[in-house]
Amino acid sequence: MKYPVAERALKKWQANNLKKLDSRGEKTHYKFIFQGSTCNNGGSEFKAHLHALINNNNTIEKAWIEIPEEEQEAAAQMCASPSKNASEAQDFFNSFKEDADFSGSDIEQVIQEEVPLNYAGCLCYAPIVNQKWKMALSTMHFDVKNPT
């Protein structure tokens, strides 16, 4: 399969950013740790966890994004956040936990799909989130095909 990112990057992300949280049974729960930055205030760094449950048929059963509590103060500085205070931005953070619209799809199809991308470090709008999912899902698929 031709990935939208270089294999060298996939190997690095597989080693440094990808965690298998559970691989029992017919599905694997992956967590990809994205190291981003805000689009406001000079770019505060934060981490986001992109989760996916992928079954043995390569179908993405569920996919969501988690902003860990310890990262929320920085992440609240994103321009799409309604408040620059983490406690007031909980609805914004909770919106990431909603199941991704590509859930139920084949992972290869999602990776290869042409969607608008934007390489900004934040998670404010769909094209930016699309790019993060391309990175995460490509790394997860690479791990399925090249387990460590």
pLDDT at 24: 79
109: in domain: yes
What are the contacts of 12-21 at 24+ separation with CB within 8 A? 13/135, 13/139, 14/139, 14/142, 14/143, 14/146, 14/148, 15/148, 17/139, 18/139, 18/140, 18/143, 20/143, 21/51
37: in domain: yes
2: in domain: no
| Helices of type H across the chain | 7-16, 72-75, 90-96, 107-112, 126-145
86: in domain: yes
Within 10 A of 10 (CB to CB), how many other CB atoms are there?
21
Residue linked to tokens 């999912």: 133
1: in domain: no
Give the Cα separation of 66 and 106 in Å (integer).
Answer: 22
20: in domain: yes
- In this predicted model, what pLDDT tens digit does every residue of 6-46 receive, in sequence order? 999 999 999 999 999 988 789 999 999 999 999 887 889 99
pLDDT at 41: 78
Task: Dump strand ranges (E) for 2-73.
Answer: 18-22, 27-37, 45-55, 60-66
75: in domain: yes
Whole-model pTM: value is: 0.95
- In this predicted model, what pLDDT tens digit does every residue of 98-134 receive, in sequence order? 999 999 999 999 999 999 999 999 999 999 999 999 9
Number of domains in the chain: 1
Q: Which structural domain, as residue segments, surrounds residue 79?
A: 7-145
